[in-house]
Each structure stands twice: as C-alpha cells, then as structure tokens.
Chains A and B, each alone.
Chain A
Amino acid sequence: DTGVSQDPRHKITKRGQNVTFRCDPISEHNRLYWYRQTLGQGPEFLTYFQNEAQLEKSRLLSDRFSAERPKGSFSTLEIQRTEQGDSAMYLCASSFSGFTEAFFGQGTRLTVV
C-alpha cells in the first residue's frame, strides 16, 4: 500500500492524559500536513512540514499540541493534557512540492472521556 498511513485508527483516552499519533506519508512526498475535523465541519488546518522543517502552524493550535517530523519521513502529533474539546478526527496528508493536491490518510479518531 503506497498511500498515507495513520496509526492508531481509534484512540479513547481519559481527560488529562497525553496522546501521540503517527503518520507515514507517501514516500516521495516532501510536504506533510496535519488537520483536525469535527462532525459536520470540513478539515481544519493545524500544521505543515516541508521535509523536517515545520513551516506553518495555525494560530488556533494550542500550546498543548506539538508535532515533529524527524528526518523528513514520518510525523508524530502529540496532544498533552487532553480535554474533551480535543475529541475529533485527526487527519494527515502529504503532497509533492509546488501547488499540488494533498493525499489524505484514513485519520485517527480521538475520543476524550
């Protein structure tokens, strides 16, 4: 399978716990994006990497959220001290350089109880 892979697909956590999600992009893609989507809404941009450099972060991104992309390959998104409002689908996407389409993974569904 050469698509974008996300792990885990589902995560249930207690409020206040930390969670980490992983994204493996399409291997030739040097751009990687994280989005969050809640029910009835379109995906909301969180952050963007070009290779290993994090070039853009949404101003809506709380300081409880941190993302990394070591060596420009896979990426992780960590949420510290989770809150119920963090419950959402977290989507990862990757693309080539330039203004081209991004391909999405199947997402990680986070439920904070």
Chain B
Amino acid sequence: EDQVTQSPEALRLQEGESSSLNCSYTVSGLRGLFWYRQDPGKGPEFLFTLYSAGEEKEKERLKATLTKKESFLHITAPKPEDSATYLCAVQGNSGYALNFGKGTSLLVTP
C-alpha cells in the first residue's frame, strides 16, 4: 500500500529564513509526486508535479526535488504570505487515486 510521511508536522520560520520540508514515500511504481498548498478552509492549490528521480521544479521562492525515496520542498527567503499547509501526494501503479500525507503546517513570522 502506498504511504506518504511528511516532516516536520509544523514549522515556524522567521521571514527570510530558508528551510526545507520533507516528503518520504513508498509506492508501487511511482507515476507522479505532487505538491499542493492549502490555506485554512480552502481546497488544495496545485504547486508541482515530479515524475522521476533527479527532477526539479521551481516557482518563485519554492523549489521541489525528487529522489527514489523522498521529495523536498525548499523555501528560499520565505514571506508571511507563504504561511500555509503544504501537502505531498503520490500516484502509483495501484490506481489513479492520489495518496496524501498529513501535511506540514508552515508559519512565517515577520
């Protein structure tokens, strides 16, 4: 069964303090790994898709990387508006469902 574990559960950063969020996964035949951002009371907002080890994607202050066992979401010089829960999900050979981790709750203070 596909499993996704995200760490840390919660992270507090000062504005400008770079850090990384981790997503460890076990999946039968990775078809895709997805990162989403979720604000309170709203649906997840798509950020990145990664398909194979070594792949990297960037968007503004965010950079996602992928290895055969984990993915990292690097946040460079974060701003308070980056505060949200970041969700990681995998899609494997077992079906079309996205299997999500519990997320990392990020708080960036001024």
Question: Is A74's beta carbon under 8 Å from chain B?
Answer: no
User: Which B residues are CB-close (under 8 A) to A55?
Assistant: 96
Question: Is B61's beta carbon under 8 Å from chain A?
Answer: no
Identify the closest chain B residue to A3 (Cβ): B43
In angstroms, Cα B98 to Cα A42, docked, is 11
Identify the closest chain A residue to B97 (Cβ): A45
User: Which B residues are CB-close (under 8 A) to A62?
Assistant: none
Question: Is B78's beta carbon under 8 Å from chain A?
Answer: no
Known A56-B95, A99-B32; judge A43-B100 contact (CB<8 A).
yes
Question: Is B87's beta carbon under 8 Å from chain A?
Answer: yes
In angstroms, Cα B97 to Cα A58, docked, is 9
Q: Which of A31, A33, A42, A102 has the most CB of B within 10 A?
A: A42
Known A43-B44, A106-B43; judge A48-B100 contact (CB<8 A).
no
- Proximity bits, A55-83, B CB within 8 Å = 1, else 0: 11010000000000000000000000000
Nearest-CB distance from A83 to chain B (Å)? Answer: 23
Chain B: number of interface residues, binned into ranges: 20 to 34
In angstroms, Cα B43 to Cα A102, docked, is 11
- For the complex of A and B, 10 pairs with smallest distance between CB atoms: A42-B100, A104-B43, A45-B97, A99-B31, A99-B32, A104-B44, A106-B43, A101-B49, A107-B43, A101-B46
21 contacts between A and B (CB under 8 A): A42-B102, A43-B87, A45-B97, A48-B95, A55-B96, A56-B96, A58-B97, A91-B43, A93-B43, A99-B91, A100-B49, A101-B32, A101-B34, A102-B46, A102-B98, A104-B36, A104-B43, A104-B46, A107-B42, A107-B43, A109-B41
